[in-house]
């Protein structure tokens, strides 16, 4: 059975332990990137959540995995709130998949 993991700073990820997620604390971007590679390469994870704070500075690492079916890597806001990077990432992924911007149209 696949696992669900989360990578981020302590304040952002600790509460996810109660949901059964495998929690990985990272004190900095370098540690978060190393953890991401480790989790993806293990083949044990179906979903990996990554805090936006780190994801913004890990674009190259995330690009490496964007075309893989598993694990799905989703960005979530950190304890300090969202930066908008996760939403922009989803918008870009939809544009790639559909070929057009079908989200967030203003009337």
The CATH homologous superfamily to which domain 3-98 belongs is ATPase, V1 complex, subunit F (3.40.50.10580)
> Tell me, what's the pLDDT at 83?
75
Q: Would you say residue 104 has pLDDT above 70? A: no
Tell me the pTM.
Answer: 0.81
Sheet with 72-76, strands from edge to edge, namely 22-25, 3-8, 45-51, 72-76
> Tell me, what's the pLDDT at 101?
73
Domain ranges of the chain: 3-98
* Cα→Cα distances 79→52, 64, 85, Å: 10, 26, 15
Q: Would you say residue 30 has pLDDT above 70? A: yes
What beta strand segments (E) does 3-95 contain?
3-8, 22-25, 45-51, 72-76
């Amino acid at each position: 059975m696949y696992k669900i993991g989360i990578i981020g700073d302590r304040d952002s990820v600790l509460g996810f332990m109660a949901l059964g997620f495998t929690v990985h604390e990272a004190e900095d971007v370098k540690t978060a990137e190393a953890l991401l590679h480790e989790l993806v390469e293990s083949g044990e994870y179906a979903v990996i959540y990554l805090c936006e704070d780190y994801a913004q500075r890990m674009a190259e690492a995330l690009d490496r995995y964007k075309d893989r079916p598993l694990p799905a890597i989703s960005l979530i806001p950190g304890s300090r709130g969202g930066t908008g990077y996760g939403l922009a990432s989803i918008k870009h992924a939809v544009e790639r998949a559909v070929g057009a911007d079908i989200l967030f149209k203003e009337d």
